Amino acid sequence: MKTIQYNVKCPEVRILCELLNNLGYQLTVSDSFTAAVDVAVREFQLKNKLIADGIVGIKTWSKLYELQPNLIDYNGKFLSEQDLIDFSNLYNVDLAAVKAVNQVESSGKGFLLSGRPKILFEGHIFWKELESRGINPNNLVRGNEDILYPKWTKNYYQGGEGEYTRLQKAISIIPTSHSPEAAYASASWGCFQIMGFHATKLGYSSITEFGEKMHISEREHLIALGRFLEVHSANLIALLQQKNWDRFAYYYNGTGYKSNKYDEKLAAAYRKYSN
């Protein structure tokens, strides 16, 4: 694990936040090493007789993992080289292109330290899902502003296990005469953050089955990705075969893809793996 400290932005910070939260800290899980994370790290170091400098190197990482309660065994859950080769053959896409998508579009890992798949709960989708089931969201908003809102915002994201807390809260406010699937449909799941509401369109019998599959392995996340790319109205598999990174990024990442340079990142990753 790389050495990280205040003001850096990288996937390792997410892992750091998860590890600290498992030990009782209450951090928003993100890839940004914020002032709040720095304070928590220094407190952890001081408590565990380490140098309280806020720098997370080998000693701090080791102590963090040593103290983890019920750390999950990830054997069999991670993507392998063969999984990507199989995907490449199934969809007739260059292996280098598959690796590029995995590098750029994957969240880095599909599972939390608890062994549950990574999710992100979207309150604006929950609003629409309730409406589609004949439930008026306006009647449920009060006290639930963090999970139910008409327009997209990232203000309420918690990351990590905090997203499961939000999911469970959403389930709890659904009238008992309705199934909790509106809540499951409102979360994005796994490595590639496929939204639950796509489940039946992707060939799953229900959103519940989709969620169960996402709990199995990152291989299942990749299968879901393939189905999503295949059924997308823009035929994303064809764009991937053509290495049309601009159009692929537009349809996968949305209209703001240029600001995050997703097309450039995909092209650069493809060149790297092609070599």
What is the C-alpha to C-alpha distance for residues 252 and 261, in angstroms, rounded to an integer? 13
Distance CA 21, CA 272 (A): 35
Its sign, for the CA torsion 250, 256, 259, 262, is negative
Q: How many domains does the chain have?
A: 1
> Which structural domain range is residue 33 located in?
11-66
Residue 233 neighbours by CB distance under 10 Å: 6
pLDDT band per the 50, 70, 90 thresholds, residue 142: very high
Closest CA to 269 of 94, 111, 88, 91: 94
pLDDT at 77 over 90: no
Give domain status of residue 225, yes or no.
Answer: no
Place of tokens 């007789």: 49
- Which pLDDT belongs to residue 72? 64
How much is the mean pLDDT over the chain? Answer: 93
Q: How far apart are CA 228 and CA 83, in angstroms?
A: 17
Query: What residues contact residue 3 under an 8 Å CB cut-off, 6+ apart?
Result: 55, 56, 57, 58
Domain assignment present for 57: yes
Asked if the structure places residue 132 within a domain, the reply is: no
Question: Residue 235's pLDDT band (boundaries 50, 70, 90)?
Answer: very high
Picking from 108-112, 162-166, 212-216, which range would have the lowest pLDDT averaged per residue?
A: 108-112
Consecutive H or E run containing 120? strand 119-121
Q: Provide the pLDDT for residue 1.
A: 75
Q: What is the pLDDT of residues 191-227, one digit of tens each?
A: 999 999 999 999 999 999 999 999 999 999 999 999 9
- The residue assigned the tokens 């990174």 is 245
Query: Which pLDDT band holds residue 74 (cuts at 50, 70, 90)?
Result: low
What letter would DSSP give residue 4?
A: B
Strand arrangement, sheet containing 119-121 = 119-121, 187-189, 194-195
| Residue 32 belongs to some domain of the structure | yes
Query: Which regions of the chain does DSSP assign to beta strands (E)?
Result: 119-121, 187-189, 194-195
Q: What is the pLDDT of residue 275?
A: 87
Residue 76 scores a pLDDT above 90? no
Determine, yes or no, domain membership for 21.
yes
**Tally: H helices and E strands in the chain:** 13, 3
For residue 165, tell me if it sits in a domain.
no
Collapsing DSSP to helix, strand or coil, 169 comes out as helix
Reported as a pLDDT band with limits 50, 70 and 90, residue 107 is confident
Q: Is residue 39 part of a domain?
A: yes
Query: Residue 71: is its pLDDT beyond 90?
Result: no
Query: What CATH number is attached to the domain comprising 60?
Result: 1.10.101.10
SS3 of 121, please?
strand
Q: Are 9 and 33 in contact (CB under 8 A)?
A: yes
Q: How far apart are CA 1 and CA 264, in angstroms?
A: 26
